[in-house]
Amino acid sequence: MSWQNGLTGFFAGLLISIVTSPVGVSGAVFLLPVQLSVLHVPSPAVTPTNLLFNIVSGPGALARYRRNGQFTGPLARLLIGGTVPGVVLGAVIRVYALPGPEVFRLVAAAVLLPLGLWLCARALRRGTPDRPPLSRRTILGLSVITGTVGGVYGIGGGSILGPILAGRGTPMTQIAPAALTATFLTSIVGACTYGILALTTTGDIAPQWTLGLLCGAGGLIGGYLGARLQPYLPENTLRLLLGTLATALAVLYLIQGLSPHRHGK
């Protein structure tokens, strides 16, 4: 890996995490296109590299949220209880059923598009009252599903469920630390699963360690700064920004996934 790629990865992790950590998103969901299109990380190694980013970057935002006294309530335990087994299943699916980069882009688009549209809708409908909060059983079930998707996509799972909880009345001050905690722990489990699969399967399955560590180092700093800024940032503005970016990336991946002969790997 060249020093230019390492520097690019560091600053990408830094800038993305500053924007995403205030709303409980690790940043891996937006770091993925940088790894694929700019840094040219092969598939499926890009997924465990993204999980490595989550592991290194996560403690930055979590340390700040802990200092703010925001680790209260059972939400984090519910998310962890569902996303941990889900991420293992997702890793197995990713390696054995979705190894090709074109298929992976379509899977990424399927995750990003509803996430982006949901964020935009909630940000634009400011006067719309939130729906009743989800039950514990529903949250647990959704956590299993999102954990599986996160294992395929390399984002841990908690960052997918966060926007759903926000739309159902859960305060962002509770969602952000809980979602990042779930993402951090499930990323550890997911990375270990990919490491085990790499011992028994051929191909680019193991993470690119140096790049993942450098991206994570940037995310560690950016996550702390973003969590510190959360009380001062308009929630609707952040949701609209993230939603627009996620939707744009989904459209890009749909184009690339449906035209693989024009976009190479």
pLDDT more than 90, % of the chain: 16
Mean predicted confidence (pLDDT) in 37-52: 82
pLDDT, averaged across the chain: 81
Residue type for 21, please?
S
Q: What is the pLDDT of residues 132-167, one digit of tens each?
A: 778 889 999 989 988 887 777 666 666 667 777 876
Please tell me which residue, 84 or 157, carries the higher pLDDT value: 84
In the chain the first and final C-alpha atoms are separated, in Å, by: 18
Predicted TM-score of the model (pTM): 0.79
In the structure, what pLDDT confidence band is assigned to residue 13 with cuts at 50, 70 and 90? very high
Instruction: Measure the CA–CA gap between 209 and 216, rounded to whole angstroms.
Output: 10
pLDDT at residue 204 in the model: 65
Q: Tell me the C-alpha distance between 187 and 79, whole Å.
A: 13
Please name the residue ranges forming H helices in 97-208: 101-124, 136-153, 158-167, 172-200
